[in-house]
Amino acid sequence: MEIYRGKRLIVEKSNFSLPNGMQREAVVVRPRGAVVIFPIDGEYCYLIRQWRFAIDQYILEAPAGTMETGEDPIETARRELIEEAGLAARELIPRGFIYTTPGFTDERIFIYEARGLTPSREYAPDADEIIEPVRLSISEVFRMVRDGEIVDAKTIAAVARCIGKECT
């Protein structure tokens, strides 16, 4: 049964069977798909400092965004990188996907590594986003993840998939 339908997600309440045959009721959040992009330029990368209303603070995170209906994830990645970081990528390398919080949502975020960066203003930032691009060394970002300064889960996953092997 649909509880809520919004622009970006649907909330449903339904009955389901566990693998052991037990019946349960649950609420599931079903957002549209999303992407996260980790832009790399030599020994540096670009993150964004963004204000997030749900936690009422700024956090450091990788550029990301929601897929439009029917949009391919790589096209979303291309668009969101320009909108949020002001960068176009010559190459977007797929690095798989993550389930964000499978205890209550089926949300998948596709991860892309961006290389061959050039400035672009092809797409304007969304009016409701307060964003500042930040250039950091890759080693600094890895340290910030390790030390708990970067707390955004999708960004941590992108760091692990895109540069984790280089910084161990």
Q: Are residues 17 and 44 in the same domain?
A: no
19, 44: one domain? no
134, amino acid identity: V
Q: pLDDT tens across 12-48, in order? A: 999 999 999 999 999 999 999 999 999 999 999 999 9
Question: Mean of the per-residue pLDDT values for the chain?
Answer: 94
104-117 b/e (C-beta count within 10 Å ≥ 16 → b): ebebbbbbbbbbeb
Show the domain range for 13. 1-31
- Looking at residue 126, what is its pLDDT? 77
- My answer on whether 16 and 93 are in the same domain is no
Q: Same structural domain for residues 113 and 145?
A: yes
For residue 89 the two structure tokens come to 């990528």
Asked if 12 and 37 sit in the same domain, the reply is no
- Distance, in Å, from the CA atom of 138 to the CA atom of 167, rounded to the nearest integer, reads 8
Q: What is the helix (H) or strand (E) element at residue 141, kind and residue range?
A: helix 138-146
Residue 15 and residue 57 share a domain: no
- What confidence category does residue 90 fall into, taking pLDDT thresholds of 50, 70 and 90? very high
Same domain, 15 and 58: no
17 plus 50 within the same structural domain: no
- pTM greater than 0.95 (yes/no): no
167 pLDDT above the threshold of 50: no
End-to-end CA distance of the chain: 47
**153 pLDDT more than 70:** yes
Residue 77 gets the label, from left (phi > 0), alpha (psi -120 to 50) or beta, of alpha
Same-domain status, 15 and 51: no
Q: Note the pLDDT tens digit of each residue in 51-71.
A: 999 999 999 999 999 999 899
